[in-house]
Amino acid sequence: MSQNSKVGNDSGEEIILSVSGLTKHFPGAKTSFFGKHEIVQAVDGVSFDVAAGESLGLVGESGCGKSTTGRLITRLLEPTAGTVVFDGQDISKLNNSELRPIRSDLQMIFQDPYASLNPRHTVGTIVSTPFKINKVVPEGGVKKRVQEILEIVGLNPEHYNRYPHEFSGGQRQRIGIARALALRPKLIVADEPVSALDVSIQAQIINLMKDLQKDFGLTFIFIAHDLAVVRHFAQRVAVMYLGNIVEIADRDTLYSSPKHPYTKALLSAVPEADPDAVGARERIRLTGDVPNPINPPSGCRFRTRCWKAQDICASSAPALLQIGQTQVACHFPE
Amino acid sequence: MIGAPIQGRSPARMAWDRIKKDRTAKISAITVAFIFLLALASPIFTWILHTTPDQFHPETLDPSFGTNPVGKLGGISAQHWFGVEPRTGRDVFLRFAYGARTSLSIALSATALATLIGVLVGLVSGFFGKTVDLVLTRTMEIILAFPSILFALAVTPVLENLLESWGVPTGNATRIPVMIVVLSMFGWPYIARIVRGQVISLREKEFVEAARSIGASRTHLVFKEILPNLWAPILVTVALNIPTMITSEAALTFLGAGVIDPTSDWGAMLLASVPFYSVDPMYTFIPGFGLFILVLAFNLLGDSVRDALDPRSSR
């Protein structure tokens, strides 16, 4: 992984975000009254690069550490180890006041549109807070700018004085997007932005985000558990399992020829729209549950559920290696 | 857009609309307002009745006995609407009106002070957590475990001596501030505990994270993001705290650690009436009934405020 270089991708694009060895351990319950805290290894040595203007999908089951990764990148959490190089600067160890100037370039869209908007603030207040906190006065005043943003995300600018409870889930998520967009960030981390919405609304929000990405040249990290949604939105996809990235590839490469057994299993579980094709495809059923991140399996973390597991999988953890178009962490890739 | 301009209804506005439809709220609010008016207007009654609450009227007392009021029900007459005080002949209605003044101002000041301390401590304790929280919650628990009335009786002379050593004149000038401090000292932990609990659940909400991700300072998070969501529980706690303060104030005065005669106070009136309850029960009944009505009205109003602010809660 390129660590401090701004140009490192094989296609020569500018790397806006470079994550390497990112680790977050949370203190869990105490083992006994006088004992130590158990350690929850939520994210354990995650590395990837994101090029400017691209959208990287981050997929995985619940509890695999994808949301934690998102919060580490936006520095809502402090990493236990590893570096996050954003726009040429390592932000992983900055304190709150040092982070402040960077915050406006690095925004987040949250999962729950009902919890992410302060119920006591009007839409106008919510979307203008970024300007006030960063003491930015746009041309024509904050109110005019906020109303422009509301219009961009598909809301009525006259809704400025309304409260969040007067909006539907989809509209609320548009308000959240407007807030993230207010200061024209370079990178937006979208943490399952549509998983709380109706399926019919999901497409609208995804299309809105796609349009915004095109119009403003935004870079997205799109966290989701729905592979179909990621396929629609992301150009590149990283698959996470139990705090590790197991596979990163271009969307088409990943969906057409998955290299990691876990990716293969995930893809086989995506519902097929064409009923004739269902029989043609082999459905891989994983047995057992995701292991406890307090005490993950030795070696490859997926080995306990993998049908290809051998002795080597238990003794050594596979590194993320380039195979063709794909980076994959497996001793026996497809 | 067609039709009327879009108007947002704030949560506070909706609560107000709900409370306006509540009959209990209306009646109790009117009762409370009536007692407030009586307290505020007491100087007007001095002017109407041509006497003061402190003026002795020996002519209204039974000359053969010397202490009991002449006439029925403690000497109720056109001149003395609620009768007169045994032994002195002071006008009970004026003492009642002025007493409401003292009781309410001490209870409300103590509530205000307790709320201020309680909200600040609760915010700090809930938001910062860890050691700060541990120290503050233990402090609250210790105070709540104290037998408050006994402790208030013990601490009042100590605080009074302290104030007097700073040159504050003796009497009610020291007694009333001491009462306010003592009452709020035992009142704030109730508010702080409720605020702390709310802050702990709110600080993990995504809208607080969203503000953090914009670069908001801790002051902004506490006062702009979290505090506005606390007005409902704070208002309810305050509304239910006022009647407690009123009874505690009356109890303190009744036990002798309160307002000093000749300043009128409902607790003091009750205390003064005790030796005469068999010959002049009206004198005991009037301040007692006043307290009962005021505390009941405040409690019902507090309940209505809670229902209006949180319509989903059911009893």
Which among A111, A115, A162 has the least Cβ separation from residue B207? A115
Q: How confident is the model at residue A1 (pLDDT cuts 50, 70, 90)?
A: very low
Do A120 and B229 lie within an 8 Å CB cutoff?
A: yes
- CA-closest candidate to residue B283, choices B298, B268, B303, B295: B268
Nearest residue to A60 via CA among A288, A300, A227: A227
Min distance A232 CA to chain B CA atoms (Å): 26
Q: What is the dihedral sign for C-alpha A237, A291, A285, A313?
A: positive
**Type of residue at B68:** N
Q: Which two tokens stand for residue A163?
A: 């409260």
Looking at per-residue pLDDT, the higher value among B70 and A242 belongs to A242
Domains of chain B from N-terminus onward: 22-48+88-309 (1.10.3720.10)
Residue A88 has pLDDT above 90, yes or no: no
Q: Residue B206 and residue A115: Cβ atoms within 8 Å?
A: yes
Which H helix or E strand runs over B248? Answer: helix B231-254
The whole-angstrom separation of Cα A82 and Cα A91 is 10
- Nearest-CA neighbor of A129 among A91, A103, A165, A167? A103
Is the Cα torsion angle A309, A312, A314, A320 positive or negative in sign?
negative
pLDDT of A246 strictly over 50: yes
Of all residues in chain B, the one with the smallest CA distance to A133 is: B216
Q: Is A154 exposed, middle or buried (0-12, 13-18, 19+ CB in 10 A)?
A: middle
Residue numbers in B near A159 (CB within 8 A): 6
> Would you call B209 and A108 a contact, using CB atoms and an 8 Å cutoff?
yes
CB contact under 8 A, B225 and A118: yes
A219-224/A187-191 β-pairing: parallel
Confidence check: pLDDT of A8 > 60: no
3-class DSSP assignment, residue B163: helix
pLDDT digits (tens, 9 = 90+) for A115-152: 899 988 999 999 999 999 888 888 888 899 999 999 99
Contact between A133 and B10 using a beta-carbon 8 Å cutoff: no
Closest Cβ–Cβ partner in B6, B205, B212 for A162: B6
Identity of the residue in B6, B7, B207 whose CB atom sits nearest the CB atom of A117: B207
Shortest distance between the Cα of A211 and any Cα of chain B, in A, equals: 23
| Res B207: pLDDT | 92
Lowest mean pLDDT among A55-59, A74-78, B37-41, B173-177: B173-177
* Candidate from A240-249, A251-260, A294-303, B56-65 with smallest mean pLDDT: B56-65
Q: Mean per-residue pLDDT for A159-183? A: 90
- A68-80: average pLDDT: 91
Angstrom distance (rounded) from CA B269 to CA B285:
10
Q: Is the pLDDT of residue A10 over 70?
A: no
**Ranges of chain B whose pLDDT falls below 50:** 1, 314-315
Q: Cα–Cα distance between B63 and A214 in angstroms, integer?
A: 101
CB atoms B6 and A156 under 8 Å = yes
Q: Given this model, what pLDDT does residue B315 score?
A: 45
- Predicted confidence at residue B279, as pLDDT, reads 81
* Residues of chain A that touch chain B, judged by Cβ-Cβ distance less than 8 Å: 71, 74, 76, 99-100, 103-104, 106-108, 110-112, 115-122, 129-130, 133-134, 156, 158-159, 161-163, 165-166, 176, 179, 183
Cβ contacts of A67 on chain B, cutoff 8 Å: none
Minimum-distance CB partner of B8 among A74, A76, A163: A163
Question: Does A108 sit within 8 Å of B213, measured CB to CB?
Answer: yes
B265 burial via Cβ count (<10 Å: 0-12, 13-18, 19+): buried
> Is the pLDDT assigned to residue A222 strictly greater than 90?
yes
pTM for this model (two decimals): 0.81
According to the model, what pLDDT value does residue A278 have? 58
Q: pLDDT per residue over A300-324, tens digit each? A: 888 888 888 888 888 888 888 888 8
Residue type, B198: Q
Q: Which tokens sit at B208?
A: 């607080």
